[in-house]
Amino acid sequence: MASEKRPPINEVFTPRGGTVNREMYIERRDIEKELRRALQGSLNIVVHGDSGAGKSWLYKKVLGDLSAVYDTVNCTTVATDGTFDKEFRNIINGEGNHTKTGFTEKKNAEANAVFAKGSIEHAAEYAIGEPEVFAKCLMQLRKRAGEGAPAVLVIENLEEIISAPKLMQGLARLIILLDDERYSKYRIKLLIVGVPADLQSYYQNIANQRTVANRLCEIPQVGRLTEGQVGQFASRGLLHKLRINFRIGGLEYIQGHIYFVSAGIPQLMQQYCEILAHMAVERDWSLSVDCLPDADKRLLKNNLLSIYSTVCSYVSDEVKHHQILYSMGRITKEIFDVNDLEKAIRFDFGGVDVGTPSRLSLAKNLAALADLNPPILKRLGKTKRFYFSDPRYLICIRLMFDNKSSKSVLRIERFDIGN
């Protein structure tokens, strides 16, 4: 075992990998089951979750299990072009991001979508260009899949077009078109991928909201990993794959820190583990707890520089301001309000002498963080609830307080990330 060659680090940890590394994939059995059922149902599907939550790996893994063939339409490109047509033409011409995921052909007619017959008028007015192009795209996808295999058209990064009403209306028309027999005959299912809060805006921005909603099935949110799942991933990669040596108790402590630093977000978890692996190489394939401060700094420098700079530009020297940020970084809810923040501050600072911010002050600070450009927080629709606009802000806030300082005298850890 000692002489066995270690795999390359970038084959073990792939934070931005386009293909699923099944040896490192952490199963989410309940949500995978929901997605499989939805793919075998009659409706189009919405997969939603925070940025970096592992939505792409999840649907790619399940499509692979079903031996499905799929093509991807990237809404980032759609937003740039102002139309879906270019992405459809790429698929027609064989230039799209198409994948045959299965290894054996499955001929289960029950897996095909069943659509009620519908009608559509003036489709060309809604950013889909010529409806024939969409039909040819579906035909090409079905041709590659064959008659028996499931075929799916994935609409990725929905949040990129959420503020473009014309494109959102265009997507709505695509969904409705799939009920027309000229399109439904190809038996293609749409799988729409986006982040949760933006999907609510999606429904709000569609004039025929009920018509579209009746054609969609939304599976449960792809959430963050649990502490146990993060520990399983870290152990599998660092200990078993790369065979890194740890002092007694060191692995368990490091696993807990990886969960805290990543907040259970798969992409951040992979990035941090990748950093630790490279540090282990520098230390003759060993790691200890005293490596973590340097790993935190590397995460900020290599992956979070612009995010860190934004947070630092907002931070003042007021003690109460520090308390708000400190406690906000330790709220475990992904969507929170002033009540959650008040409870967190009382838990963290209830026993100290410096006093705590008033409820009004908390509300003003949350609003101010949402009004920044770029914003650290976002409001959930028209409510008074908030969520981090990017989970990396949460990580920065968790890391930027000196862990050697007491809660009564909080100090910002000013990393010299320029060196």
pLDDT cut 90: percent of the chain above it:
54
What pLDDT, on a 0 to 100 scale, did the predictor assign at position 267?
Answer: 92
Summarised one tens digit per residue, pLDDT across range 216-272 is 889 999 989 999 999 999 999 999 999 999 988 899 999 999 999 999 999 999 999
User: Between 62 and 3, whose confidence is greater?
Assistant: 62
Closest CA to 323 of 346, 301, 295, 291: 346
pLDDT given for residue 138 in this prediction: 96
| pLDDT, mean of residues 358-369 | 88
**Band (198; pLDDT cuts 50, 70, 90):** low
Digit-coded pLDDT (tens) for 152-167: 999 999 989 988 888 9
pLDDT of residue 408 exceeding 90, the answer is no
Whole-angstrom distance, CA of residue 86 vs CA of residue 84: 6
Q: Compute the half-sphere exposure of residue 246: CA atoms within 13 Å on the CB side of its CA.
A: 19
Indicate if the pLDDT at residue 102 is higher than 50: no
Please give the span between the terminal C-alpha atoms of the chain, in angstroms, as a whole number: 39
pLDDT at 389: 86
Q: In the prediction, which pLDDT does 162 show?
A: 85
Give 103's pLDDT tier (boundaries 50, 70, 90): very low
> Which segments within 280-375 are labelled E, that is strand?
286-287
Residue 340: the pLDDT is: 94
Note the Cα 75 to chain centre separation in Å.
15
pLDDT at residue 254, rounded to an integer: 97
pLDDT for residue 401 is more than 80: no
Q: Which of 216, 206, 204 lies closest to 380 in space, CA to CA? A: 204
Cα 363 from Cα 338, distance rounded (Å) = 6
